[in-house]
Chain A
Amino acid sequence: MGVNFAAEKAEAERLRAVFAEAGAQPLDCAIMQSAETLLDLYGEDIRARAYVTHDPSRGEMMLRPDFTVPVVEMHMSHGADPARYTYAGEVFRRQEEHPERPSEYYQVGYEVFDRGDQAVLDAEVFALFAEVLKPHALRPVTGDIGILTAAVAGLQTSQKRRDALLRHIWRPRRFRALLDRYSGKTPVPATRAAMLAQADPMAKAGPVIGMRSEREIEARIAALRADAAEPALPRGQVELIDAVLAVRETCSFALEHLRDIAVDMPALLPALETFERRCDALSARGIDVAELDFEASYGRSSMEYYDGFAFGFVCESRPDLPPIATGGRYDALTRRLGGGQEIPAVGGVIRPGILLEVAR
Chain B
Amino acid sequence: MTIKLGVPSKGRLMEKTFDWFGARGVKLSRSGSDREYAGAVEGVEDVSLVLLSAGEIPRELAAGRIHLGVTGTDLVREKLVQWDQKVEQLAELGFGQADLIVAVPAAWVDVDTLDDLDGAAAAFRARHGFRMRIATKYHRLVRDYLRMGGVADYQLVDSQGATEGTVKNLTAEAIADITSTGETLRANHLKVLAEEPVLRSQATLFRSRAAKLTEADREAMRGLSEMLGV
Contacts and interface: CB of A to CB of B under 8 A. Distances in A.
B143 A210 contact: no
A118 B15 CA distance: 70
A268 B155 CA distance: 35
B140 A171 contact: no
Contacts of B109: 195, 201-202, 205, 217, 221
Interface stretch (A40-48, A123-131, A138-146): A40-48
B122 A167 contact: yes
B93 interface: no
Given A44-B143, A201-B110, A216-B124, A209 B167 contact: yes
A189 B115 contact: yes
A286 interface: no
B112 A99 contact: no
Given A177-B115, A208-B105, A219-B123, A96 B81 contact: yes
A48 B148 CA distance: 13
A282 B176 CA distance: 51
B113 interface: yes
A335 to B, nearest CB: 16
Contacts of B172: 210
B43 interface: no
Contact of B150 (A173, A201, A214): A173
Nearest to A222: B110
Contacts, number: 107
Contacts of A195: 109-110, 112
A183 to B, nearest CB: 15
Contacts of A210: 105, 167-168, 170, 172-173
A212 B108 contact: yes
A96 B156 CA distance: 19
Interface size bucket, B side?
Answer: 35 or more
Given A171-B150, A177-B150, A209 B143 contact: no
Interface in A91-120: 96, 99
Secondary structure call for the A interface: helix
Interface string B53-65: 0000000000000
B154 interface: yes
Nearest to B123: A220
B146 A209 contact: no
Interface string B161-202: 000000110101100000000000000110000100000000
**Chain B CB within 10 A, most for which of A43, A99, A214, A219:** A43
Nearest to A172: B150
A220 B116 CA distance: 10
Given A48-B140, A99-B82, A221-B110, A171 B128 contact: no
A43 B152 CA distance: 7
A220 B110 contact: yes
Nearest to A48: B143
Nearest to B190: A209
B106 interface: yes
Nearest to B168: A209
A40 B131 contact: yes
Nearest to B150: A174
> Which 4 pairs between the two chains have the least Cβ-Cβ distance?
A174-B150, A191-B112, A205-B107, A210-B167
Interface of B: 81-82, 105-110, 112-113, 115-116, 118-120, 122-124, 127-128, 131, 139-140, 143-144, 146-148, 150, 152-156, 167-168, 170, 172-173, 188-189, 194
Given A39-B131, A205-B109, 6 more contacts: A44-B146, A44-B155, A202-B109, A209-B189, A212-B108, A212-B124
